[in-house]
Amino acid sequence: MQFLSDEDVFGLEKKANEIRQSVIEMLVAAGSGHTAGPLDMADVFTLLYFHILHHRPNEPLWSERDRLILSNGHICPVLYATLAHAGYFPKEELMTLRKFGTRLQGHPHREALPGLETTSGPLGSGLSQALGMALAERMDNPYSSKYFYCLTGDGELDEGQIWEAFMHAGKEQLHNLIVIIDRNGIQIDGYTTDVMPLEPLAEKLSAFNWDVQEVDGHNMRMLNDAIGKAQSVYSQPSVIIAHTIPSRGVDVFERDFRWHGNPPGKGPEDRVKRGEQAEVALRRLRTLAGHITAPDHS
């Protein structure tokens, strides 16, 4: 694990903010897509691609890269935006999201865009794939220090398949497998606690023989520490429950489940009229809305 200085944290938070702005611009251009998840996972994605992952944006298929498997494919705007900001492809291409002929399919397709490790969208299958990759790596090289990061949603945990995979990974004791759950508490139809309660989630995962941590999913230092600990756990796979605020970064969208599957311009109007949603979101992010504070060297 690499320590984060104050400057590092400031830089990452600024980058996450830029990525959030890209997400809003992409969704507005597309006219459809998901808002809450991409915004609330921007901090996790930024930390991973700009601090944690061993990867080469100019050589996406570099064999020694860590793998990031996005299981809840519907939050792909944040993956695409992060890949573009990391240099995998030109940022201008972000505006082609969901349009005919694009490499940025509505849900990610591996063969369409270098940098994607798999195709996903139908929920619950990413963890099985990450586990297959981690298992294959261990077969070839038991001393490998390559890590396999799987990002999932929390609504996604309603799927039976993902528990098949949690059980299997526990059996295999895959120390190179790290799952980060976006615990934003919402899904399409409402709050997870109403649709299908997941708690006690940490205890369930622990009972499946996983090392479990819970962190603030917007705190770069806590996330970095948790991933560092997960990397050092041996004989168990690790899961980090990242508690996030849905639509984080745009305060007038935050915490409302109705932003799960709507883009700015088509979301709920209680707080901002549809015609103003895109502009307000971008203004909030550009003014940082008091969320990011430069390190104080006085």
- The residue ranges that bind another protein (CB under 8 A) are 69, 109-111, 117-122, 124-126, 128-137, 139-140, 160-161, 164-165, 167-168
Closer CB to another protein, 161 or 219, in the complex: 161
State which residue, 164 or 251, has the beta carbon closest to another protein. Answer: 164
Instruction: Decide: helix, strand or coil at residue 284.
Output: helix
* The two three-digit tokens of residue 222, written as one number: 């806590």
Distance CA 16, CA 77 (A): 13
Cβ of residue 8: shortest distance to another protein, in angstroms?
31
Residues 209 and 260: their CA atoms lie apart, in Å, by: 31
Instruction: Please provide the DSSP assignment of 219-268 as one string.
Output: -HHHHHHHHHHHHH--SS-EEEEEE--TTTT-TTTTT-GGGSS--TTSS-
Q: Is 98 helix (H, G, I), strand (E, B) or coil?
A: coil
Work out how close the CB of 92 gets to another protein at its nearest, in angstroms, rounded to a whole number. Answer: 27
What distance, in Å, lies between the first and last C-alpha atoms of the chain?
28
- Say how far apart CA 59 and CA 48 lie, in whole Å: 17
Q: What minimum distance in Å lies between the beta carbon of 225 and another protein?
A: 28
Q: How far is the CB of 136 from another protein (least distance, A)?
A: 4
- Residue 136 or 196 with smaller CB distance to another protein: 136
Q: How far is CA 56 from CA 59, 67, 78, in A?
A: 5, 11, 19
176 or 213: CB nearest another protein: 176
Residue 125 or 244: which CB sits closer to another protein? Answer: 125
- Nearer of residues 129 and 244 to another protein, judged by Cβ: 129
Smallest distance from another protein to CB 254, Å: 31
Instruction: Give least dist CB 18 to another protein, A.
Output: 30
Contact 41, 78 (CB under 8 A): yes
